[in-house]
Structure 1
């Protein structure tokens, strides 16, 4: 006998999400804690920034999908916040663009369903002066 569908939790982010299932990471803990209560899905993309996430959010979370997630946990920002160097390709995204990208992602996710809940994780603070000293 098949019971009602379990809630879906979707983890959407960069390597913090992708690697969260390895070696007893935070996503593995979440999945273990909600075993038999919810299905936990990983949509983690190592190296990605908020710009790349904004470009695919509608494909990852299509409006016409009949099953809507109950919870979406979003983490982007670590790659966005790398120090900008005009001579080196990087995943850096300027702060104002990052904020706009996250608003677009949030708006899309909120429009999926009135019952979909969102949690946004943020990148930890960075001491830029200390980073400049370390990097020379």
Structure 2
């Protein structure tokens, strides 16, 4: 899933380091094969939060040649379970959010991608099945999960505005994903909290180099602005190294 234009890195990140990493065409099988390389257990610093998305490519119907991203449902579930176990073992403070498979616009997908990729063996029904499996697994393992299948479909015009090509998310689609992630961060009962309002500011001491307010006397603490350029609220945490681990469909 490619999240374009509007994502967590576009929110003012004076309080967090965001690492976005998508692997083109990957499925849960390939992710599991490379998991130790991407998230080594012996790393000096471990991320505070890891957001994981796999499922869209896995859900594609098998190709007659056997050479496709398809992963059978039960194997997908086992792969995601092993990924969650590994990530949980990184540190006591590493938190995890799984994103379920979002819906697709099948008509738009065939119109825009068939010439390049040939007949596309991807359906909304399969996306729904893998989405439900991911959510059920997360419930069993006590892993935070976001139901993107339902979140995108809450918009009455989701088919028209949420995709660039029927699969990859547009600006509007990305806004929905970011909103859902920020909601989890805000409401999770994690200790320490990863909601930016609950975290101390790095280098919080007063500085003579901060902007002067309208009263021509008071310094403005930019790191605590609730609104930057009128477009976004700060919703991230101080010193939280956040990694996104996903396929780019």
Task: State how far apart, in whole Å, the 2-side matches of 1:88 and 1:114 are.
Answer: 40
- Where 2:20 maps in the other structure, the secondary structure is strand
Q: Which residue of 2 aligns with 1:100?
A: 78
Report 1:109-120 matches (<5 A).
109-120=87-98
Q: How does 1:26-65 map to 2 (within 5 A)?
A: 29-65=7-43
Secondary structure at 1:120 match in 2:
strand
Q: Which runs of 5+ in 1 are unaligned?
A: 1-15, 129-136
Q: Match of 1:127, SS?
A: helix
Which residue pairs with 1:11 in the alignment?
none
- Which is higher, the Rg of structure 1 or of structure 2? 2
Partner Cα distance (1:95, 1:127) in 2: 13
Partner of 1:77: 55
Does residue 122 (structure 1) correspond to residue 100 (structure 2)? The answer is yes
Where does residue 67 of structure 1 map in the other structure?
A: 45
**CA shift for structure 1 position 32:** 2.5
Q: CA RMSD in A?
A: 1.6
Query: Separation in 2 of the partners of 1:60 and 1:71?
Result: 14
Q: Cα distance, 1:89 vs. partner?
A: 2.0
- What TM-score, normalized by structure 1, do the two folds share? 0.72
Runs of 5+ consecutive residues of structure 2 not aligned to the other structure: 104-123, 127-249
Alignment of 1:14-25 (within 5 A): 16=1, 19-20=2-3, 22=4, 24-25=5-6
Bigger RCO (CA 8 Å, 6+ sep): 2
SS in 2 for 1:69: coil
CA distance in 2, matches of 1:60, 1:79: 19
Q: Detail structure 1 runs of 4+ shifted over 4 Å in the superposition.
A: none
